[in-house]
A = this chain, B = another copy of it.
Amino acid sequence: MEQRVSLVTLGVRDLARARAFYERMGWVTSGHEDDDVVFFQAGCMIVALWGRDQLAQDSCVVDGGGWGGVTLAHNVGSAADVDAVMAHAKAAGAIIGRAAAPTFWGGYSGLFIDPEGHPWEVAHNPGWRLAEDGSVHLSTGQLKPQASWVDAVAAAQAS
């Protein structure tokens, strides 16, 4: 399997509400108003909103009813950009899980939760390269190495 994700589908209980939220966040879909699935082109991939019950059935899983172990992140180029997206999310009706602040791994992030309960971290990670096209790339050693997570967690736990 190639090392990529083509589509992230977010199951929603109220499609119109979910769609309106992402549109308030500035996202644009070419879909029709009465579509029962909404697709957003998201860089190299696609984000979809679909009925949660239908998605659970299609995914051959039992819906635990809450969060299920997947969190998305949106990386931006600076702490100020994190603040701006977080303010936008709050104005658009998101729940603010945690306000933007410096993180233990040397970056800066906040977290909002969309009206359907899906969390998004908004982050500035100086150790990753954010290209002009919005793509995000793991550093290859010239910046913060991944192993520093281990040290950072240990330091945070010890403090």
Binding site for B on A (CB under 8 A): 1-12, 25-28, 30-32, 34-37, 39-47, 52, 55-56, 58-76, 85, 88-89, 97-98, 111, 113, 116-119, 121-123, 128, 130, 133-138, 140, 146-147, 149-150, 153
Contacts and interface: CB of A to CB of B under 8 A. Distances in A.
Contacts of A45: 5, 43-45, 135-136
- Protomer copies: 2
A24 to B, nearest CB: 10
Contacts of A61: 66-67, 97, 113, 117, 119
A118 B55 CA distance: 13
Contacts of A98: 60
